[in-house]
Structure 1
Amino acid sequence: MINCNASTEWCQLMWQDPFTRCHMQIDPEPFVSACISNLCQSPAVDGLKCHLMEAYARACHQQNNITVEDWRSTAGCAAGPEAMCRDKFCSDHEFCGVSYDGKAHCLCRALLASDYRSKDKFGEPAVCSHTSASVTMYCCLLLEKGIDYTRLHLNDESCKGDIDDKTHMVSFNFDRDHTCGAIIKANSSKITYKNVIMTPNISSVVTRYSNVQMDFSCHFDQPDPEGLAIKIKDSPVIKHLTSGEWDYTLTLTAYTDPGRTQPIESSTGVLLNEKIWVEIKAYGLEGNTLSIVTESCWATDQLSSNGSIRYDLITAGCPNPADSTVDIEGNGQGTSNYFSFNMFRFLGKDSEIFLHCRVDLCVQQADSCIQVCDQAARRRRSLPTIDAKGDPSIVTMAWA
């Protein structure tokens, strides 16, 4: 409990003997004011009282070689660790004092420590990301429990704490590349990175250090695939077309498997970078006479096939050489063909994506309709003779 009146009265002892011999050289007012301000905010257990008065006595001696005799008796301060503390740097949340081992250490000020003491903690909770974890603790709080931070390590004994020389806080870290012995577990709902901050195993029959084993783990919810899934709006897409004398139906159907047995429906979720297969099939054509050739397929950010953004998957009957995920099979061999690619979205865009495919009819003359692509260069080596009457057909599929 803080008694500001008693603290004020005690600080004003610096206006009295034996401090009066120093008054002519150093004004005590700043020291008295600082003493009152500190003690009215900090409990007496902080150990500040004698340190604040020591500051005035030391200033007198250092600046004017005046020794304030017997000030400890006047102030009721026993001989303390000041001599040992003169070369010791303590951070803002610490003060120098004698610890349990009889030596001078940087101890925690009460304003910092009270919160952590009540919760039996040494610092803030671990900071976790999906690739790393770190935890930071106050050395002065560890010291109160007789714990030497230099002896602590993670599961991997080579992973020790890093000390900040200014704040006297020690940090333990591990990440995906340097796990420091962390055990990684995963189930359908959670991912756990489990590690432990501990002291070395003791082989002796006696020890003068506390045995420590502190949990240092991170838990993450597994991402919900359904929440991240892309939905294809309409599959199959069915379009009735007339090209010259030919009336036929063109379908565009997406599948999740290369055998094209599992069609994608509007309720089916597809993840980014997941491979899908798209089959283009014509009904109502004479298979011995005509073939369909997928001349090109491209994606836009608008329903119009001339959107403001365009990304090519198939060009000139062959996969876009800039996209290694694209493959096409059976192009020009009959009334159906299919291609595959890994699902994507436009960078920085949350709008729908529209896939457009241009399909030509080809009158079969030997193998003239078959598209032959150089897989190394991913370009067509020879162009077939396209001899269908009418305009090429464009069929469009959308996903979001």
Structure 2
Amino acid sequence: MEFPVGLCLSALLLMSGVAKAQNDPCSALECTGNEECIAISGSYGCGCQSRPNSDSFDAVQSCASSSSNFSLSRCQLFEAGLNVTSLHLNNPNCTGSIQNGRVFFYFDNDQNVCGTTLRSNGTHFLYENSIQKGAGSHGLISRNSWVNINFSCVYPLIQSISMPMAIQAAESVVFKEFLNQGSYQLRMVPYPNNSFVVPYSGNVTIDTNQKIFVAVEVDGVDSSQISTLLDHCWATPSDDMNQNIRWDLIINGCPNPRDGTVEVLQNGNSTSARFSFKMFTFTSVSDRIYLHCEVHLCLHNLGSCEQSCNPQTRRKRRSLNRLEPAAVTMAF
């Protein structure tokens, strides 16, 4: 059978195009619109069309509780001579994944610890890890590229929280966001009894000398490693926590001996601290009180976090700097 010359020529061109596509080293790279396929030292990869933050590989990090996402620019890594498939966290099994031209690394404190360490520097606690690649040689010298990028999630150990007494009872949450740091939530919740199941809500009237139960809770931290400690709680007749007219309820984690109604029910053994006291007003000043607490987060790996108020067995904790207060509004 004979075929027309034009048809044979078209078939040859088509086969040539298919072969060329199969042999094209750029076709499988899937470079993004901000990248371009280039060759460096004979190896093809996605290079950069622009280079912001080239000294840090355009690193971007997010922290939440005991987890972190850390990403780097794929094209900047390639242009630095680094093969992204050889990068990993402290645990070599924790490698990166490529999404939209970036290489993402992830760790948490559940199934993906990835060699993350937890430590405290006295004012903050830090989850630390690193992206690394060894030289890949056991000889005396090596000319292979290597990298070690350390990163961490940083959380303050001390916060302050306020609970103003007003007209409407509703749980309120303060969300603290820290630049280049992690974040967590503090909330102060009032309850009518020691079951701590159903909080006050709606329009509530609390009489003087009536017992009130308060929980100070922290969300967004790893409860297996961190506990909430109440260092100080006090009341003021206005929403200014630094007002000179004040009544101390808890001092250094223990009830104020001048107020025989205060009970510390739970402190240092979970992410929720609890206490109770009998309602009062400031004489000839205001018929409202505003409740404030200074909260200290404790790391279990530094020892027991539970606070003892027995004078004979009481432990001393290191003095930590008080950081910027966080005010939360909730009322009765």
- TM-score by length of structure 2 reads 0.45
Q: Which has the higher helix share?
A: 1
Q: Which has the higher strand share?
A: 2
Q: Which structure has the greater CA radius of gyration?
A: 1
Report 1 or 2 for greater relative contact order, CA contacts < 8 Å, sequence distance ≥ 6. Answer: 2
